Structure 1
Amino acid sequence: MYLVGFYSPKAKSGVTELSLSVYDWLKANTTLSAAFISYGELKKEETSNELVHEFAKLTLAEQKRKVKRMKKEYDIIIYDASSQLSEGVLKLLPIVDRLFVVGEEHKEFAVKLHQIIKLNKIFDKRVKNFITHLQGSKTFIIQENEGHVIGFSHSKKETNDIGQMIYTDYVTYYINQKLIEENEKIFKKIKRIPKEELFKGLYELGIDFEKALLFQKYVILREALGQNYNEALEVLFPFLINNSFEELLEKFKIEISFITKLK
């Protein structure tokens, strides 16, 4: 369900040792089911279904299937990306829910890496589809906080501190996923409403009269600008759910004002 990555661009920086210690801590101190994936080879540990190594030998498609299957089976997966800079590693890093770049001296590198990851999510369809496939559409993410996406760790940072941080992140992520699931159920109901009866259908679902009417007007505006109806629904849905009538109205007014200025 929740994937945590450990990475460093510097060889022999202790990434594998650190990530294994966190994996062991989670198994010893929580009731969550934990698994471990190593991009490279584990020479001392006994591998099993929950402790996988030599991930680099799998094709990207095989890696995707493996991660997808394990995320369904385990609560937390620790991903040891190992101390190497390669195309294969960079392809998988965008899928993690929290990324630790090991070594305080790599802070600038980590910031650049995060920028690359965000860029990939926007423009690389293969990466974007992978993200959507595993985590659900980003449209429905309730909490988007960069502090929960990328973290910095001293190479000697206590395993307990990192373990506690990951566990706290997991709890937040779990709650978010439940909210996402509820939102997706509502969105599916909205998509089934006939286009010409959108306002009425929203009102019958429990949306306030004024807000339902405004949302329909907003969708009509987007369609008039050339946006596909279903795409307009998906893009505007988070504002319907998470914003008040006043906030939605203000956004609607700003958009109309912007369009007017362009003419």
Structure 2
Amino acid sequence: MKSVTSAVVDNDDPQAYEDQHVHAVYDHIASHFSSTRYKPWPIIAAFLDSLPTGWIGLDSGTGNGKYLPLPAERPGSVLTIGMDRSWNLLQIAKHAGSGPGLPITREIVRGDVLGNGWRDGAFDYAISIATIHHLASHQRRQLAVQRLLQCVSPAHGRVLIYVWAVEQDDLSKRTCGSGGLDVFVPWVMSQQTTAHTKTRQPTREPASTQKDALPADVSVYNRYYHMFAEGELTKLVEEAAEGMGLIVGPLTIDATNKLGCEIIRDGWERSNYYIELRRWIS
């Protein structure tokens, strides 16, 4: 089990805090991390399989790009562009789904989930899987949701978001204890694993390494997470949508010249909270 520890967020400079406790860490562990992230989660796979043929979407915080080849049942029916801050993970995502004798190149771009590099409504859909929980303030998490809502079509855009939950199931490798919502989650790498890492190393060492009480050939990289409580993700989305002037709820027959966002479903799955949204215009 991986016991999390409480994290004290630097409210004066959350960007620098994330650079140190999220981005630098993922660049270090990219290859090892990717080797453990290969099986798509069922609800996400079903969401992508439900999309109309010809739609184009964004995977915001794509990591190793494991969702870029989907849907498996209708290969090539939609095009998902992967975006991430980690250069090392993007190099893996670029060839997600490739096999021996089957080289595949994916559409990827290096960017920030808080950036505004797209015109409004550029995509038909967007997914954000296990990413927003790495943002170190409520305001930054809210902005990330707004960027997702902005980048999809106001008439039919669909959005799916996943974040880690405080409530962990029996199969989880994480134990939250009483550490609070802002935590460090350890990633353990041995020197043997590191020696086989082929990705480019970052220019800065992550500050949160703990080697005490561990074998000499093991390093622990602590990643920052905001673990979401029950109802928190839904409230965050509602605040983000209302902050954009959107009506939160389904399209009604008496709505005219309005923009809205409907919550299709939300819930808890395997230690994660998720929410699916649909944009509408009247």
TM range (shorter): 0.3 to 0.5
Higher strand share: 2
Higher helix share: 1
Flag the structure with larger Rg: 1
* TM-score, reference length from structure 1: 0.36
* TM-score, reference length from structure 2: 0.34
